[in-house]
Structure 1
Amino acid sequence: MATKQPSKLENQQNKEDKDSFDYSKRSQWLRAAVLGANDGLVSTASLMMGVGAVKQDVKAMILTGFAGLVAGACSMAIGEFVSVYSQLDTEIAQMKRDQMNNLEGGGGGGGEGEDKEDLPNPMQAAAASAFAFSVGAMVPLLAASFIRDYRVRVGVIVGSVTVALVVFGWLGAVLGRAPVVRASLRVLLGGWVAMAITFGLTKLIGSGII
């Protein structure tokens, strides 16, 4: 029995449906994940570089990075939860006002279930942010954990963070259909500047104290 092939009209319709996909629906979790990963990479690597500017001991750098990972993940999760919950309260209040206006105007109450599905999820955003931060922070931690030589360790941290920043910038741009090169460069340059400033200022201040 011959299988019915999709017509040209059906193929065109499928292509239009795919092209018309609303990528803004990804914005909530994508924003939390990309920001969390970038913050985890940059802040943890900067902390480790800052401590490494005055203390070359590998244990000091690893403990600093681990403390930054835990503190940063908790901070990102709490901040994202509070922010998204505030947004949720605002959207629920607006939905109730719209429903009241529809009832007063004789309109139906349709679309309520669909609207609730589109509401932001504070727990999901918080979990995504904390997880992404932890994943990002693990990059410099793992890169430095098994290297005793100070200069090599610093170089490996910078190199691994550079690669990870480019990857996360590229991934966020692809998923959000944004310009890939521009997004990757923006993330990469921001990370380099943060690490350089932290290293330089800590070296300057620490050299006169320790």
Structure 2
Amino acid sequence: MAAIPSHEQVSLSQVRIPVDMEAHAHEAEDNHFDYHQRAQWLRAAVLGATDGLVSVASLLMGVGAVKKDFKAMLLAGFAGLVAGACSMAIGEFVSVYTQYDIAIAQMKREEKTKNSEDMEKEKLPNPVQAAFASALAFSVGGLVPLLGAAFIKEHKMRLRLVVAVASLTLVVFGVIGAKLGRTPVVSSCARLLVGGWMAMAITFGMTKFIVSTGLQF
């Protein structure tokens, strides 16, 4: 068998080496990516959207358990959406601002220099941004079951649609959270789905029970 010329050997190695280096570079970048940092904002976004979805869907199921009136159900859902978004925004603002104050106090105790302190302040969370993001996420999640119920006049079909839309959206949230956070998809979806079903079932059942005791709305 004829020997491969030396210049061909060099060209083959030159083709192979960049490919290997590129693969190692992508692998190193993936291994050093800070998924914990991503998990912080991911948790806030998924939590806010899921909270809005489950809260409004459960509220619609609770009202629908005792009221067949279309307007009453939608009005209650809208009120729950606005109240929940405001509550999430205020709670997130207070929580993040408290965290901000603690971090500033710790920096002062450690007697940081002025330049270092200014640099560290830029890395601290912004309470206003956190409040806005939390309220927005809640509103997006809450709009899903509300819009799903807005176009169905028949009572039982409306309740079924709320459950179906909420369930499908919970699965979508679970998949998104799992993909971005690099966690198991099945367990993430199962947790959200079972939790949402429990919330809607408990709200529906408790409202039915209260009415069955004689209290009328």
TM bucket normalised to smaller: 0.7 to 0.9
Contact kept in structure 2, 1:32 and 1:80, CA below 8 Å: no
Q: How does 1:68-147 map to 2 (within 5 A)?
A: 68-98=80-110, 100=111, 113=119, 115-147=120-152
**Which segment is superposed worse, 40-49 or 169-178?**
169-178
Displacement of 1:110: 5.6
**Which segment is superposed worse, 82-91 or 25-34?**
25-34
In structure 1, the residue matched to 2:156 is 151
Contact kept in structure 2, 1:166 and 1:187, CA below 8 Å: yes
Task: Indicate the structure (1 or 2) with the bigger Cα radius of gyration.
Answer: 2
The percent identity for this pair of structures is 60
Displacement of 1:13: 2.9
Q: 1:159 to 1:168 in 2, by over 3 A?
A: same
Supply the AA of the counterpart residue of 1:144. A
In 2: Cα distance, 1:150 partner to 1:176 partner:
39
User: What is the aligned-residue RMSD (CA, Å)?
Assistant: 2.2
What's the TM-score once normalised by structure 2's chain length?
0.84
1:187 equivalent among 179, 182, 192: 192
- Does 1 or 2 have the higher relative contact order (CA < 8 Å, sep 6+)? 1
2:47 equivalent among 17, 35, 42: 35
After superposition, the C-alpha distances for 1:141-160 in whole angstroms (9 at most, x for unaligned) are 10010111111100000000
In structure 2, the residue matched to 1:209 is 215
Secondary structure, counterpart of 1:48 in structure 2: helix
In structure 1, the residue matched to 2:28 is 16
In 2: Cα distance, 1:84 partner to 1:143 partner:
33
Q: 1:23 to 1:118 in 2, by over 3 A?
A: farther
In structure 1, the residue matched to 2:168 is 163
Q: Which runs of 5+ in 1 are unaligned?
A: none
Structure 1 moving runs of 4+ over 6 Å: none
Q: Which runs of 5+ in 2 are unaligned?
A: 1-13
In 2: Cα distance, 1:83 partner to 1:42 partner:
22
After superposition, the C-alpha distances for 1:117-148 in whole angstroms (9 at most, x for unaligned) are 43222122111110110011101110010111
Q: 1:143 to 1:10 in 2, by over 3 A?
A: closer
After superposition, the C-alpha distances for 1:44-84 in whole angstroms (9 at most, x for unaligned) are 11111111111011111100000000000000000011011
- Count of residue pairs brought into register by the alignment: 200
